[in-house]
Amino acid sequence: MSVDAAPARAATAALRPGRAAGPVRGARHRSAVGRAGQTLSRVLLGLILATATAAFLFLAVGPRFLGYQTSTMLTGSMAPLINPGDVVVGVKTPTSALKVGDIITYRIPVDDQRVETHRVATLTRTPGGATVITTKGDANNGADPWTAVITDDTVYTTAAVVPHLGDAIRALRSPEVRSVLLFGAPAILVTMLLVSIWRRPTPAPGTRVPDTRVESSPGRQARRER
């Protein structure tokens, strides 16, 4: 008894795509994971670059063109309003407008003449136009043991406080972090490049590859037919 082989061949052909479905799904899953990883890496790198750019503009460019100044609080004398590691943003204020209770940043008139950020405790003005003040840290028990005479027309008063920014700046200046940035950043970029190359999608089994051959000119085709 003879059997028609056509239906059997058709059934076999119909089963072939089913056997390739598993590898296809696996390839698609790996490709999706690779794209997600690349997207996350790009987002993180973009955030780091944006943060670094904003910090540079705020700390280096802004004071030069906008006239404010920044200083890092080193002690807890103004806690809890200003804590160690916070960055104080000071703006120029006319000395004639200065009053008790304002927080100013100035050089103390004794010892090393360091920059201090404290609150004005007392204020008097001399007939000669000078402003005499005493200052006090909010967390200190008593006033500072000196009297400051302000002869300039302006003084820097506190306009804003950026928490923990000074800590981040000091951390970036440490040798360990500099080494990590110097060698780690290029390593991350190279790794991302290698991962992007490795994750390039490959044609799945059974996928038709487009024909990229250049068609022959009519003259060549005619010569071949001869």
pLDDT tens, residue by residue, 100-114: 999 999 999 998 899
Strands (E), the chain: 69-72, 87-94, 103-107, 115-125, 131-136, 148-150, 154-162
Q: Look at residue 207 in the predicted model and tell me its pLDDT.
A: 57
| CATH domain 69-163 topology | Umud Fragment, subunit A (2.10.109)
Q: Closest by alpha carbon to 91, among 108, 82, 103, 101?
A: 103
What mean pLDDT value characterizes the chain?
79
Six-digit token string for 20: 């390739």
The domain locations on the chain are 19-66+165-202, 69-163
Please report, rounded to a whole number, the percentage of residues in the chain having pLDDT higher than 90. 43
Rounded CA-CA distance 194/203 in Å is 19
Q: Look at residue 1 in the predicted model and tell me its pLDDT.
A: 46
Terminal Cα distance for the chain, rounded: 49
Six-digit token string for 129: 């136009």
Rounded CA-CA distance 212/200 in Å is 19
53-57, 71-75, 96-100, 209-213: range with lowest mean pLDDT: 209-213
- Tell me the residue length of the chain: 226
Q: Look at residue 13 in the predicted model and tell me its pLDDT.
A: 45
28-42, 66-80, 195-209: range with lowest mean pLDDT: 195-209
Mean pLDDT for the stretch of residues 173-190: 72
Q: Look at residue 2 in the predicted model and tell me its pLDDT.
A: 47
Residues 124-144 have pLDDT tens digits of 999 988 999 999 999 999 999
- Edge-to-edge strand list for the sheet holding 115-125: 69-72, 87-94, 154-162, 103-107, 115-125, 131-136, 148-150
Identify the top-confidence range among 57-66, 165-174, 175-184, 194-203: 57-66
